[in-house]
Structure 1
Amino acid sequence: MATPRNDLIGITAVSEVGGSRLSISQVAVNALSLLAARVETTPGVLASIVATLLKRPVHVPLPVGSQPPV
């Protein structure tokens, strides 16, 4: 096995659970789960931000010198 780097996957690769190391497949599944979580989280957060701004336009900054709509 290659020398693990000092990152989350590298630390997971050499960590122990119950006194034994995780298998390669367990490390891979963990890494893929993290990747899937990233892919799901970013669009969800952006959608939430857009939805909030559409519901509450008072939070949208106005250009300098313009007046808020009445």
Structure 2
Amino acid sequence: MTKAADLRQKDVAGLENEVKDLQRAHFGLRMQKATQQLTNTGSLRVTRRDIARAKTILAQKRAQSATK
């Protein structure tokens, strides 16, 4: 699980990389679920929420830099 405070310390490029990495991880988990290899289905929910958290902070940082 990714903490919001850790994400807020990253810059925009770092957050974009984090979102990409989380999306790759989520895709892998979805494929494992489809092939019935995934035992912990709760990890799908956690990664989905981590992606949302990172995207929210990324949008906030972009909006903040646009107003400056």
Query: Which fold has the larger relative contact order, with Cα–Cα distance below 8 Å and residues 6 or more apart in sequence?
Result: 2
Higher strand share: 1
TM-score, scaled to structure 2: 0.45
